[in-house]
């Protein structure tokens, strides 16, 4: 169940990122990057699901290896960091540095994927 909850969060993040990319209408790289950044700054992040994670905290040591617990915790921590970073945006005037930090965080989370589904 925890893996499903993590996957749902990552699917929502992927949809958020794809939506930002879909709003890019210009092809010049620097302008397209600005459009994507504006979309990141103005669109609402999806609400992260954590009911299963929170509900299982007491029994996690029985269900998961220590490395898995750390990896899952890191994923939720980074979702929270992304939310904090989003809250610090100033809309379309957020600037290049904000966008870069936000984009790196989104890309990193999506690249790593679900820590419980690694082969």
> Residue length, the chain?
119
Q: What is the value of pTM for the model shown? A: 0.88
| Cα within 13 Å of Cα(110), Cβ side | 14
Q: How do residues 14-32 score in pLDDT, each as one tens digit?
A: 999 999 888 777 777 777 7
CA–CA gap between residue 37 and residue 79 (Å, rounded)? 18
Q: What confidence category does residue 37 fall into, taking pLDDT thresholds of 50, 70 and 90?
A: confident
Is 118 inside a domain boundary? no
Q: Which domain holds residue 8?
A: 2-112
Is 119 inside a domain boundary? no
Is 29 inside a domain boundary? yes
Q: What is the 3-state secondary structure (H, E, C) of the chain?
A: CHHHHHHHHHHHHHHHHHHHHHCCCCCCHHHHHHHHHHHHHHCCCCCCCCHHHHHHHHHHHHHCCHHHHHHHHHHHHHHHHHHHHHHCCCHHHCCHHHHHHHHHHHHHHHHHCCCCCCC
Q: In the numeric block, which tokens belong to residue 47?
A: 């609400």
Q: In the numeric block, which tokens belong to residue 35?
A: 């459009």
Q: How do residues 70-110 score in pLDDT, each as one tens digit?
A: 999 999 999 999 999 999 887 766 677 888 899 999 999 99
Task: Provide the number of structural domains found in the chain.
Answer: 1
């Amino acid at each position: 169940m925890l893996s499903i909850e993590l996957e749902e969060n990552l699917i929502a993040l992927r949809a958020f990122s794809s939506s930002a990319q879909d709003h890019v209408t210009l092809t010049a790289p620097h302008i397209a990057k600005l459009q994507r950044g504006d979309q990141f700054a103005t669109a609402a992040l999806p609400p992260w699901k954590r009911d299963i994670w929170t509900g299982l905290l007491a029994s996690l040591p029985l269900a998961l290896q220590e490395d898995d617990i750390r990896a899952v915790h890191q994923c939720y921590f980074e979702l929270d960091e992304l939310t904090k970073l989003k809250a610090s945006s100033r809309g379309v005037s957020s600037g290049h540095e904000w966008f870069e930090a936000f984009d790196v965080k989104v890309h990193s989370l999506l690249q790593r994927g679900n820590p419980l589904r690694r082969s």
